[in-house]
């Protein structure tokens, strides 16, 4: 079985509920065994330049993010297909808006390095995003990136000063401000 790390994010509706629903749906899929889910984190939206060029912008709602680790018998592309189906089941519309009820990203699949038209592993933005590295560090602080050779903790420490102020860890039960 392969070890896979999944990034979960939501900026529409109740983010914690959306993340939990996605994680639970993943756990119902044949060939997947859930191992651990990080704490949830709140973060500001990050607009991609290609979205802005196309006149698309994320809404102002904060993102809720987490990282989960699971074991799978599925190939990376089969796992990606299951993840896209879970997104669709939970109302994700990839065409209409960059906002999302749920966004599932395959961060790592064992130590596989892959660059294909439908999937790049490890996730190409992984080392640049505090909102991914912070929850990933909870689960795998010493896991090395197969291309960079840096651990999760080292990648997080390499981010520009101030990034951590944009992301706030909370619990699955904590009342949120506002």
Secondary structure of 125-175 in HEC code, one letter for each residue? CHHHCHHHHHHHHHHCCCCECCCCCCEHHHHHHHCCCCHHHHEEECCCCCC
Q: Is 100 a catalytic residue?
A: yes
Instruction: Supply 5's token pair.
Output: 């790390």
Q: Active-site residue among 16, 100, 129, 156?
A: 100
Length of the chain: 178
Q: Active-site residue among 16, 103, 129, 143?
A: 103
Q: Is 143 a catalytic residue?
A: no
Report the candidate in 166, 134, 177, 167 with the shortest Cα–Cα distance to residue 152: 134
Q: Active-site residue among 16, 99, 105, 156?
A: 105
Q: If DSSP codes are grouped into helix, strand and coil, which group holds residue 12?
A: coil
Q: Active-site residue among 17, 57, 73, 92?
A: 92
Q: Is 173 a catalytic residue?
A: no
Q: Is 57 a catalytic residue?
A: no
**Could you list the active site residues?**
92, 100, 103, 105
């Amino acid at each position: 079985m392969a070890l896979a790390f999944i990034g979960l994010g939501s900026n529409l509706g109740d983010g914690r509920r959306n993340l939990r629903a996605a994680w639970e749906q993943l756990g119902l899929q044949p060939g997947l065994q859930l191992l651990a889910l990080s704490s949830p984190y709140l973060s500001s939206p990050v607009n991609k330049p290609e979205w802005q060029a196309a006149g698309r912008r994320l809404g102002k709602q904060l993102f809720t993010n987490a990282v989960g680790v699971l074991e799978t018998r599925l190939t990376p592309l089969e796992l990606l297909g299951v993840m896209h189906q879970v997104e669709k089941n939970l109302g994700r519309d990839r065409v209409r808006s960059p906002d999302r009820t749920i966004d599932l990203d395959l961060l790592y699949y064992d130590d596989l390095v892959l660059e294909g038209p439908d999937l790049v592993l490890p996730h190409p933005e992984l080392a640049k995003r505090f909102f991914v590295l912070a929850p990933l560090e909870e689960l795998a602080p010493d896991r090395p990136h197969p291309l960079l050779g840096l651990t999760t903790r080292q990648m997080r420490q390499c981010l520009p000063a101030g990034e951590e102020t944009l992301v706030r860890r909370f619990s699955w039960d904590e009342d949120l401000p506002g």
